[in-house]
Amino acid sequence: MATHPALIAWPTEARDALPLALWSAREIAAATGGTASHDFQASGVEMDSRDVRGGDLFVALKGEAMDGHKFIDKAFANGAVAAIVDRPVDYPHVLVEDTTAALHALAHAARDRTDAVRIGVTGSVGKTGVKEAIFNALDRASRGACHRSVRSYNNHVGVPLSLARMPARSRYGVFEMGMNHKGEIDVLTRHVRPNVALITTIAPAHIENLGSMEAIADAKAEIFGGLVEGGTAVIPADSEYSAQLIARARALGAKVLTFGASKDADVRLLDAIPSANGGSLVTADLGDARLCYSVAEPGEHWIANSLGVMATVRAAGGDLAAAGLALAEMGGLKGRGARHRIAAAGGKALLIDESYNANPASMRATLRQLGHTPATRRLAVLGSMKELGDFAERFHAQLTEALIEGKIDHAVLVGEEMRALARELGKASGGGIHNAITFAHCSNPAEAIAALEDYGVTAGDAVLVKGSNSVGLGKLVAHFAGLEG
């Protein structure tokens, strides 16, 4: 039987010759300089034995307090096909001198074997949500050929692990980079070597460790040091530190693309109006074109985020129409804006989960948005903002204005640092102000759950839950949203 002409003419390209499996034993040994005990193929890479799935390569990392070699049996019980180890084990493995160095080598091999456009994302606020939006845009445009760091894998272990997981056939890779101290992003960006590096915003997160806002801007600008030759730095034009960031990027030889409402922004906001779903309809000027798109996520901060997404997608050579569709369809992430309809007296109430992170800028933005959310009453469960050092008392006390702007009827404050805000609210209450905000101050999530139950959530209420992750307000979200187990 003759072969159909259409099959003969089916187009091929160089990437068709790239492996379908993530890693083979030979490739791992070549990348790490190790010795493979068996021939195998792995479909994933994992460092936590509890998260291992069938087909994974388990990397037995050694830390100051933990040695992954102690969990080899559990990793293979969960489906690992092989492990990277620094001592022989009774399972398929690649033997290396140092497992951390081996993970770095595997990450660099993953980076170098593909021509994927790599994007680095950092910033004081919004980097995980923006990373997800960029991924959704590029994944849609490339029909599933985009890779990204999952969850908040943005540190000295998470970034190399995310790189090592990047398939050879990827067209794009999106990597989040976080930091607590100067110099940390410099190391991460040199692992990734991004083609495009985005800073979402500069805010007083980690100011305890860095000392000043200018130092925070400098630390975030380290991401530009890893850019490939001819790479693009995407910078928030509306930030008061934009000139500092631009100067740093240009000094490193990067192209600069700015975004924001500023008249000088390369991707400039022209108009934004509320849309029916609670988000926004945005019109932006890209210099050579105008773009109109919807943003599903509510809030002015997501209007700014969307401009950063569009600028990044354009710099990466992506499809702006696909980016618009991705922004229109995005829902809130767990701990970062996810919305739940919860049981309440007389019906249902809205619970907004922002329990994963908090700093002064994100607190103000989220409370401001709550003020625009239709509700019978607005309740706020606010956990302490960590890593503010000597600035902590002032920044917590200043949230009084944000609570008023957010039209909060009642606040549940959780953690020692929130005592400063409790004092300010107590002064207002004691002064006989008619619309003083009632509040309760609690030490921990269990007390906060009891306090909110005592106050009573009723039908039509909107409840915001926001705080630094270490406060543990995810437990309160799980309790009221019925997510336990």
pLDDT per residue as tens digits for the range 173-232: 999 999 888 999 999 999 999 999 999 999 877 677 778 989 999 999 999 999 999 999
Tokens 């910078």 found at: 235
Tokens 């399972």 found at: 91
pLDDT by position in tens, the chain (length 485): 566 666 556 566 666 666 678 999 999 999 999 999 999 999 999 999 999 999 999 999 998 888 999 999 999 999 999 999 999 999 999 999 999 999 999 999 999 999 999 999 999 888 999 999 999 999 999 999 999 998 778 899 999 999 999 999 999 999 999 988 899 999 999 999 999 999 999 987 767 777 898 999 999 999 999 999 999 999 999 999 999 999 999 999 999 999 999 999 999 999 999 887 778 999 999 999 999 999 998 888 899 999 999 999 999 999 999 999 999 998 777 777 888 999 999 999 999 998 988 888 889 988 998 998 889 999 999 999 988 888 889 999 999 999 999 999 999 999 999 999 999 998 876 554 445 789 999 999 999 999 999 999 999 999 999 999 899 999 999 999 986 54
Reported as a single tens digit per residue, the pLDDT across 258-292 is 999 999 999 999 999 988 777 899 999 999 999 99
Name, in order, each residue with C-beta under 8 angstroms of 10's C-beta and a sequence gap of 6 or more: none
Query: Is the domain defined by 338-481 classed in CATH 3.30.470.10?
Result: no
* Domain boundaries, given as residue ranges, for the chain: 14-98, 114-329, 338-481
Token pair for 461? 């209420």
SS3 label, residue 472: coil
Q: CA–CA separation, 463 vs 483, rounded Å?
A: 16
Q: What angle do CA 336, 342, 343 make, to 5 degrees?
A: 165
For 114-329, CATH number? Answer: 3.40.1190.10
Q: In the CATH hierarchy, which fold is given to the domain comprising 14-98?
A: 3.40.1390
In this structure, is the dihedral angle defined by the CA atoms of residues 34, 37, 39 and 44, taken in order, positive or negative?
negative
H or E element, residue 120 = strand 117-122
SS3 label, residue 392: helix
Query: How far, CA to CA in Å, does 162 sit from each of 146, 153, 273?
Result: 13, 7, 37
Q: CA–CA separation, 86 vs 107, rounded Å?
A: 18
Q: In a 10 Å sphere around its CB, with 0-12 CB exposed, 13-18 middle and 19+ buried, how is residue 87 labelled?
A: exposed
